[in-house]
């Protein structure tokens, strides 16, 4: 049995993984899907005090003290979080899966890794001044994302190259330039990475659930 830790992207909660989590559990695996502080059903958490470090701490706490051989799965912004979690508890993480996600290096923020269109969205904050509102086509349950989580730079102390496997799943069906292109270009020709391209929109959990399930099952410890 593999333990999969699922981390959503901006403005979304654990529910964005419902179908994928159900399929993984049906295959006999343990799944922890995390809603991050200040977002979705946890939007009541003071958004102005929430940053990337908060979200990394959220996930480490959700994992608990006993599980090893973890597969960390991050969608979109969630790539920042899983990289930070793997840095904090490297001895417990087996592999990382980035689902159309940012892939940070030491000293980089989500802001640093996306394109100008994406940055313009980040700066269009809500009335609180602390939150980036969900886009109109997002799930009705989506809420604003804490702006500080997108601006804070990630500090990495351990070598993530030591992990058994790192996988990137790239979504091909963007309406314009993909803000994930920089991250994908970093890893697509790196022999240390396994990469996939799926003909779906950014929310591959919805658009290509069967292919994504196969990729996650193949990412588990042998």
Rounded-to-integer distance, Cα 131 and Cα 109, Å: 16
DSSP symbol at 134: P
**Percent of the chain scoring above 70 in pLDDT:** 99
Let me know if domain 3-186+199-219 sits in CATH 3.40.50.1820: yes
pLDDT per position as a tens digit, 98-129: 999 999 999 999 999 999 999 999 999 999 89
DSSP symbol at 35: P
What is the reported pLDDT for 198? 98
pLDDT mean over 192-198: 97
Indicate if the pLDDT at residue 158 is higher than 90.
no
Q: Where are the domains of the chain?
A: 3-186+199-219
Q: Which two tokens stand for residue 162?
A: 């030591």
pTM score of the predicted model: 0.96
pLDDT mean over 144-151: 96
Indicate if the pLDDT at residue 212 is higher than 70.
yes
């Amino acid at each position: 049995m593999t333990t999969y830790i699922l981390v959503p992207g901006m403005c979304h909660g654990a529910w964005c993984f419902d179908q994928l989590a159900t399929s993984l559990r049906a295959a006999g695996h343990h799944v922890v899907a995390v809603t991050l502080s200040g977002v979705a059903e946890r939007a009541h958490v003071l958004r102005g005090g929430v940053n990337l470090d908060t979200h990394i701490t959220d996930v480490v706490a959700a994992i608990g003290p006993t599980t090893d051989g973890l597969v960390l799965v991050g969608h979109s912004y969630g790539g920042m979080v899983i990289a930070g979690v793997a840095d904090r508890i490297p001895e417990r993480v087996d592999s990382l899966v980035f689902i159309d996600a940012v892939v940070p290096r030491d000293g980089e923020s989500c802001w640093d890794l996306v394109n100008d269109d994406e940055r313009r969205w980040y700066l269009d904050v809500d009335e609180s001044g602390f939150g980036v509102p969900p886009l109109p086509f997002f799930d009705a349950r989506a809420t604003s994302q804490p702006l500080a989580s997108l601006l804070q730079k990630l500090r990495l102390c351990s070598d993530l190259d030591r992990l058994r496997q790192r996988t990137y799943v790239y979504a091909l069906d963007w309406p314009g330039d993909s803000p994930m292109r920089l991250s994908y270009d970093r890893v697509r020709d790196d022999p240390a990475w396994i990469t996939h391209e799926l003909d779906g929109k950014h929310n591959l959990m919805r658009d290509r659930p069967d292919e994504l399930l196969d990729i996650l099952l193949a990412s588990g410890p042998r």
